[in-house]
């Protein structure tokens, strides 16, 4: 084999048969690109007339040629194309050529070798920015929130303390895939298959890109764009690992009535949240996601779910029913309460619920990490950032079942029952009163000090009362 001096030229000079042979050697999970669809080809032809047309035609051709591998399916079975015609997003037609030229120049200069070496973490800032942008424009419809990588790493490290193989991983509210990518990295991309559902086309497209860039392209056919609560594609499938940062509050009144049918009763065992008066957008849809996740676990399944911290102590309602069932079924492994403002796009205090069908019910770990982290400025807002050492402290407390004053406690199922099924670590911490021996002289001195202080306070109080009475006497009716 001879190393070509000009890669693009060598590709263009290959015969059709040789090129097809080359594509077959690369493998079925790699997108099929023809020489005229390469970045270098577009770069070399950027000065031709109507370059935007060539650019868009190239994206369209790549989408058509790779439909079977890289399209995201909807619940109805239809497939979404891989790329949009990007120049059409520029309303001023005279600027489309310049826009496409700028894109291709940036891509031509970009180090893809470095990108693949960094894996998903390389894109953390980009994906966070995009998700925040979606929320500003139209994300309120689907309540898309970027999950901080610190939270995702902690969840993955706790869920996968030892190596596993041949497992299935699922997220019913996948977004761009932050949780799934971290979970796959902890397991090993070659050791797991990814499954996901999400109602947002934007997020599904980003997740597809994540899978391509993280050696998980074999799972792209498992990415489904659908409403996983109202129309779950994977209703009859069980999964070994489930992660989720579901929307907490969302108006689902348009399909709530359908959820009360017999077909859904087993899945939503604790009930379906009511429609609040004059505030439909505050419907607690996350309670449906928790129940859906419990329903979707395999016999040895494990799950990790981000929930509002209020869920872990609610005294009545669906929240308490779910907690009771987690205890009675013996599925609760532990809970980590996170610092406030750890999410960039919401100030809601969150906790992470760890579910395991093979949990040790005599050693349930509750962690209060609310005091950890460093507060930094994030635009107009503040957010809390955990250090690597703090992340590891949380992970060790859960995986090694470490007891630490005012931070982590290990409790039994019966102890949780006795506390009205509260999952808050603070309710189990021992209240300590410190005693210090003092002499008779020290005691007398302290008492005299207290008496003198009170005498001064009483004198000041009497003076104020006198002034108030005098002021009241001076008031007259005008």
And the tokens for 468?
Answer: 């108030």
Which of 59-73, 260-274, 318-332, 450-464 is predicted least confidently? 59-73
Distance CA(353)–CA(370), nearest Å, equals 15
> What pLDDT, on the 0 to 100 scale, is given for residue 436?
73
Of 49-63, 312-326, 357-371, give the lowest mean pLDDT range: 49-63
As a whole number of Å, the CA-based R_g of the chain is 29
| Joined tokens for residue 364 | 């349930």
d(CA 371, CA 386): 10
Per-residue buried b or exposed e for 137-163, using 16+ beta carbons within 10 Å of the residue's own CB: eebeebbbbbbbbbbbbbbbbbbbeee
What pLDDT does 39 receive?
85
Output the pLDDT for position 75: 65
Mean pLDDT of 365-373: 94
127: which DSSP letter?
H
pLDDT at 466: 83
Mean pLDDT, residues 158-167 taken together:
94
Question: What pLDDT is recorded for position 332?
Answer: 97
**Structure tokens, 245:** 């940062």
Could you give the CA distance from residue 144 to residue 131 in angstroms, rounded to a whole number? 7
Reduced to 3 states (helix: H, G, I; strand: E, B; else coil), residue 244 is strand
For helices 178-187 and 201-213, angle between their N-to-C axes, nearest 10 degrees: 20
Q: How many CB atoms lie within 10 A of CB 360?
A: 16
DSSP secondary-structure letter at 51? H
Q: What is the mean pLDDT of residues 154-182?
A: 93
17-31, 129-143, 336-350, 455-469: least confidently modelled range: 129-143
Q: Which of 83-87, 126-130, 147-151, 273-277 has the highest mean pLDDT?
A: 273-277
Q: Which of 103-112, 174-183, 324-333 has the highest mean pLDDT?
A: 324-333
Cα end-to-end distance, the chain, whole Å? 107
Whole-number Å distance between alpha carbons of 225 and 198 = 5
Could you give the CA distance from residue 159 to residue 393 in angstroms, rounded to a whole number?
15
Other beta carbons within 10 angstroms of residue 321's beta carbon come to 17
More confident residue, 255 or 474: 255
Which among 171, 118, 119, 111 is positioned nearest to 147, based on CA atoms? 171
- Mean pLDDT within 30-39: 82
To which H or E segment does residue 22 belong?
Answer: helix 16-26
Judge whether 229 and 259 are in contact, CB under 8 Å: yes
What is the tens place of the pLDDT at every residue in 189-217?
Answer: 999 999 999 988 777 777 877 787 778 88
What is the chain's length? 478
Which pLDDT band holds residue 143 (cuts at 50, 70, 90)?
A: very low
Tell me the C-alpha to C-alpha distance, in Å, between residue 306 and each of 6, 283, 289, 324: 50, 17, 10, 18
The Cα 148–Cα 156 span in angstroms is: 13
Closest-CA residue to 299 (of 263, 329, 268): 329
* Phi, psi angles (nearest 5°) of residue 179: -70, -45
Q: What percent of the chain has pLDDT over 90?
A: 44
Using one digit for the tens of pLDDT, what is the confidence trace for 238-267? 999 999 999 999 999 999 989 988 777 789
**pLDDT at residue 121 in the model:** 43
Of the ranges 119-123, 161-165, 192-196, 369-373, which one carries the lowest mean pLDDT score?
119-123
Strongest mean pLDDT among 126-130, 236-240, 341-345, 448-452: 236-240
Instruction: Report the Cα 176 to chain-centroid distance in Å.
Output: 9
Query: What DSSP element (H or E) covers 288?
Result: helix 286-295
Report the candidate in 369, 294, 296, 288 with the shortest Cα–Cα distance to residue 330.
294
Mean pLDDT of the region 47-60: 89
Mean local confidence (pLDDT), 207-228: 84
Q: Chain-wide mean pLDDT for the chain?
A: 84
Least confident of 57-61, 286-290, 331-335, 391-395: 57-61
pLDDT at 320 over 70: yes
301 vs 433 pLDDT, higher one: 301
pLDDT above 80 (res 83): no
Q: Greater confidence, 204 or 143?
A: 204
Q: How far apart are CA 350 and CA 338, in angstroms?
A: 6
How sure is the predictor about 387, in pLDDT bands with cuts at 50, 70 and 90?
Answer: very high
Q: How confident is the model at residue 18 (pLDDT cuts 50, 70, 90)?
A: confident
Separation of alpha carbons 77 and 156, rounded Å: 31
Pairwise CA distance, residues 334 & 351, whole Å: 10
CA distance 154 to 173: 18
pLDDT in tens, 418-453: 999 999 999 999 766 566 778 888 888 888 888 878
Indicate if the pLDDT at residue 138 is higher than 50.
no
| Residues contacting residue 73 through CB under 8 Å, at least 6 positions apart | 79, 80, 221, 223, 224, 225
CA 257 to chain centre: 28
Distances (CA, A) of 230 to 193, 196, 227, 249, 340: 24, 15, 6, 16, 31
pLDDT above 70 (res 144): no
């Amino acid at each position: 084999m001879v190393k070509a001096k000009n890669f693009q030229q060598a590709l263009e000079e290959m015969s059709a048969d040789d090129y097809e042979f080359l594509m077959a050697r690369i493998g079925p999970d790699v997108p099929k690109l023809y020489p005229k669809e390469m970045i270098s080809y577009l770069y070399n032809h950027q000065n031709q007339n109507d370059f935007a047309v060539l650019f868009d035609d190239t994206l369209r051709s790549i989408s058509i040629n790779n439909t079977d591998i890289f399209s995201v399916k909807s619940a109805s079975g239809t497939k979404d194309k891989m790329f949009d015609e990007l120049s059409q997003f520029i309303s001023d037609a005279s600027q489309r050529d310049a826009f496409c030229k700028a894109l291709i120049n940036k891509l031509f200069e970009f180090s893809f070798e470095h990108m693949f070496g960094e894996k998903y973490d390389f894109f953390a800032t980009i994906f966070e920015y995009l998700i925040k942008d979606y929320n500003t424009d139209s994300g309120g419809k689907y309540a898309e929130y970027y999950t901080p990588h610190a939270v995702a790493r902690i969840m993955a490290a706790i869920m996968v303390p030892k190596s596993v193989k041949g497992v299935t991983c699922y997220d019913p509210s996948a977004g761009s895939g932050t949780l799934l990518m971290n979970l796959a990295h902890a397991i090993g991309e070659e050791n797991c298959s990814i499954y996901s559902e999400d109602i947002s086309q934007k997020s599904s497209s980003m997740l597809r890109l994540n899978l391509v860039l993280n050696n998980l392209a074999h799972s792209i056919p498992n990415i489904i764009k659908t409403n996983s609560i109202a129309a779950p594609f994977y209703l009859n499938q069980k999964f070994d690992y489930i992660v989720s940062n579901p929307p907490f509050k969302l108006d689902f009144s348009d399909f709530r009535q359908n959820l009360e049918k017999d077909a859904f009763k087993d899945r939503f065992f604790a009930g379906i949240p009511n429609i609040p008066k004059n505030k439909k957008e505050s419907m607690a849809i996350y309670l449906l996601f928790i129940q859906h996740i419990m329903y979707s676990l395999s016999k040895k399944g494990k799950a990790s779910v981000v929930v509002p911290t209020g869920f872990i102590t609610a005294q009545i309602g669906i929240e308490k029913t779910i907690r009771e069932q987690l205890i009675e079924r013996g599925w609760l492994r532990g809970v980590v309460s996170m610092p406030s403002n750890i999410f960039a796009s919401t100030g809601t205090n969150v906790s992470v619920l760890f579910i395991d069908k093979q949990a040790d019910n005599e050693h349930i770990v509750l962690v209060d990490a609310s005091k950890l982290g460093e507060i930094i400025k994030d635009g107009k807002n503040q957010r809390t950032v955990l250090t690597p050492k703090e992340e590891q402290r949380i992970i060790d407390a859960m995986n090694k079942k470490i007891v630490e004053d005012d931070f982590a406690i290990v409790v039994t199922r019966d102890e949780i029952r006795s506390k009205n099924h509260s999952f808050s670590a603070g309710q189990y911490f021992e209240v300590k009163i410190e005693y210090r021996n003092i002499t008779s002289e020290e005691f007398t001195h302290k008492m005299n000090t207290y008496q003198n202080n009170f005498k001064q306070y009483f004198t000041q109080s009497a003076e104020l009362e006198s002034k108030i009475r005098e002021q009241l006497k001076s008031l007259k009716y005008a």
